[in-house]
Amino acid sequence: MTSCQKGVFLRICLDAVISRGSGAIGFRRAGERVAEVTIGVPVYNGQDQLEECLDCLVRQTFSDIEILLFDNASTDQTQAIAERFATLDGRIKYTRRPKNVGAVRNFITPLEQAKTPYFMWRAHDDISSLDYVEKLVAALKRAPSAGLATGTIQFERPNGRPTRDYVPSIPTGRGLSAILKLMFGSHAGWYYGIWKTETLRPLIGRVWTEFPFAWASDHLTLYPLLLDQQVTAAPDTKFIQRVTPKAHGPRTGQRQPVPELLMLRREFLKCCDDMLNERQFDPFTKLTIKAANRFYVGKRVYPMKKIIKRTLFRY
């Protein structure tokens, strides 16, 4: 039994949630306090990992959360697991869709319904440190100009073995050098940090309107915050991302044909250039970042070198 799973039995015995996020110890019942953070959990047929994911969330040291769990018409035991957790913890709001609405629609709905100042996505097969929410919220409050806080990212292989940690490195200075370091030092896992809802909601609307593709949409969503240096970090807490094909988030793990990859590169680059042109940078800074975008698209969408290789060798 994992440390996360042990919490399930503790909740059955107490039938309450111990509140530690405010610094005071007590019992927190559903509706007693207004949540600060909404956590969106989209899921489809997630019976193998959902219990561990939810248990990790309800045991966060920051307790002022609301968990919006959207089940995209699962056909396995997802519903039973979700209903059991929702019964044990009133902060979980479970919605089962009568029919599958597609991965993107199911993914975005929790953000649309969020009424809290902060928002976070959590894939049904990912977990984190138990102080992840607490430390990222604190990081955002220490940096009022930031729109996103991230922790250290760790990939976990299907066999449970972790890869190396990706520790966020946020430049302390401002200007061109710092922006370029953020662009090429950012990580897709930052997407699963904690956002200011007022920052994320219009940004997601724009990204999915101008770039309606799952592939690389996470990096495109991050891009304007990198330009504006609106990312902060708490490196001493960890997000553990399982390396498994996902059908509920911005990346599906599917192999794309070369013509589609070329189209994705073109559209991604156009969006980046459009966002850059909206910034009031000096001409040299803007020109340099525009040139850097040509390399950035290869790093975040697909390298042109690999496209050429696939074309020549037809694989």
pLDDT tens readout for residues 177-230: 999 999 999 999 999 999 999 999 999 999 999 999 999 999 999 999 999 999
CA-CA-CA-CA torsion sign (13, 61, 152, 54): positive
Question: For the chain, what is the largest distance between any 2 Cα atoms, rounded to a whole number of angstroms?
Answer: 65
Mean pLDDT, residues 298-304 taken together: 94
Query: What pLDDT is recorded for position 310?
Result: 84
Whole domain around residue 68: which residue ranges? Answer: 1-125
At 22, is the pLDDT very low, low, confident or very high (cuts 50, 70, 90)?
A: very low
| Residue position matching structure tokens 């250039």 | 273
Supply 23's token pair: 């610094």
Exposure b/e, 172-189, CB count within 10 A at least 16 = b? eeeebeebbbbbeebbbb
Query: What pLDDT is recorded for position 75?
Result: 97
Supply 29's token pair: 């019942």
Do the bridges between strand 17-19 and strand 26-28 make them parallel or antiparallel, or are there none, so unpaired?
antiparallel
Name the H helices within 15-171: 50-58, 78-88, 103-113, 132-142
In a domain, 96, yes or no: yes
Query: What pLDDT is recorded for position 3?
Result: 40
In a domain, 251, yes or no: no
pLDDT higher than threshold 60 for residue 272: yes
Query: What pLDDT is recorded for position 245?
Result: 56
Tell me the pLDDT tens digit for each residue of 84-140: 999 999 999 999 999 999 999 999 999 999 999 999 999 999 999 999 999 999 999
% of the chain surpassing 70 pLDDT: 85
pTM for the model: 0.84
- Is residue 42 within 8 A of residue 110, CB to CB? The reply is yes
Could you tell me which residue, 309 or 280, shows the higher pLDDT? 280
In a domain, 40, yes or no: yes
In a domain, 199, yes or no: no
In a domain, 113, yes or no: yes
At 247, is the pLDDT very low, low, confident or very high (cuts 50, 70, 90)?
A: very low
Domain count, the chain: 1
Q: Which is nearest to 53 in space by CA: 37, 74, 67?
A: 67
In a domain, 73, yes or no: yes
% of the chain surpassing 90 pLDDT: 77
In a domain, 51, yes or no: yes
Judge residue 44's burial from the number of C-beta atoms within 10 Å of its C-beta, 0-12 exposed, 13-18 middle, 19 or more buried: buried
Helix (H) or strand (E) holding 313: helix 304-313
Query: What pLDDT is recorded for position 241?
Result: 94
In a domain, 28, yes or no: yes
CATH code of 58's domain:
3.90.550.10
Query: What pLDDT is recorded for position 313?
Result: 80
Mean pLDDT, the chain, integer: 88
